[in-house]
Structure 1
C-alpha cells in the first residue's frame, strides 16, 4: 500500500529536532545518515559533513517522520512554508512515474525521478499550488 509521510527540513539542527521528537514519541530511528557518508561528502566542509542527510523516525504502523538539514552550500534556502514536503512511497515503479508526472504537471521539478545512490528511485517537485512533494521507491534487488 502506498504511504504518505511528512518530510521536514531544518537549518542545521535536524539532529537536535529529531532527538526531541524521539523523546516525545518514543521509538528508534530506522535510518540516520550524515552527509559525510554520501558520495559527495568529501567535497563538503567538516561542519556540513556532520549534518544529517536523512533521518527516519516511525510514528506508528504506517507513518514515518523524516527529515534533513537544508545546506546553504547546496543552494538550499529555507523559510517557513518551504520547510516541509509530503513524501510519497509508491507500491511500484509504474505508480512512481504516474504520480510524479501527474503531481509535477504545471509545477517545478527540482529533481527528476531517477535512480539514486541510496538504492531508490527518487524525484522532487513543487506542484502548481506551491506544495512540495518527494517520491521515493526503494529498489528491490
Structure 2
C-alpha cells in the first residue's frame, strides 16, 4: 500500500499567478494546469462565465514533492488561514473509503465520497480538529 499526503493550496482567483510564482521562487516544475472552463460540461450544473478562467486543478513538483492548487468556485467563501488542505492519494476505492469513513467520525462531510471524472472515489471531509482532507483515488484503481 502506497499512500501519499500532498499539500493542496486553495486560492481565491489567483491560482495561475501562484503557479507562476512558485515556478520561479521554488524552481517548481509545472505538471499541469486546468481551468473550470476546460472541464467536461455538466448540464445539471452550468458553469458561470466568472468561473471559466479560474483554476480547477493544478499540480507542480518542487524537488520530489508534488503540490496541488486550485481556485475557489465563484461565490464560495474564502478565508485566509483555511486555504491549505491535505490531499490523501489512496491506491484503491476501498482504501479511500476507509480513510474517508475514519476522518468523518466526529467531523463534517463537505463532499460525499463519489466517482468523479478524475477519480474513482473522491470526497472532502473536515475532521474533528478542523483540518480539511481531500480523499482521492489514483485514476483507474
Instruction: Indicate whether the TM-score tops 0.5.
Output: yes
Q: What's the counterpart of residue 15 of structure 2?
A: 14
> What is the Cα-based RMSD across aligned positions, in Å?
1.9
* Structure with greater proportional helix content: 1
Aligned pair count reads 138
TM-score (structure 2 length as normaliser): 0.88
In 2, the alpha carbon distance for the partners of 1:60 and 1:94 equals 30
Query: How far off its partner does 1:94 sit?
Result: 1.9
Q: Distance in 2 between matches of 1:43 and 1:94?
A: 31
Q: Which runs of 5+ in 2 are unaligned?
A: none
Superposition map of 1:1-141 within 5 A: 1-38=2-39, 39-40=41-42, 43-61=46-64, 63-73=65-75, 76-140=76-140
Deviations 1:32-64 (A, max 9, x none): 110101224993333420110000001232x21
Q: Distance in 2 between matches of 1:107 and 1:99?
A: 13
Structure 2 distance, partners of 1:120, 1:26, is: 32
Larger deviation: 36-45 or 92-101?
36-45
TM-score, normalised relative to structure 1: 0.88
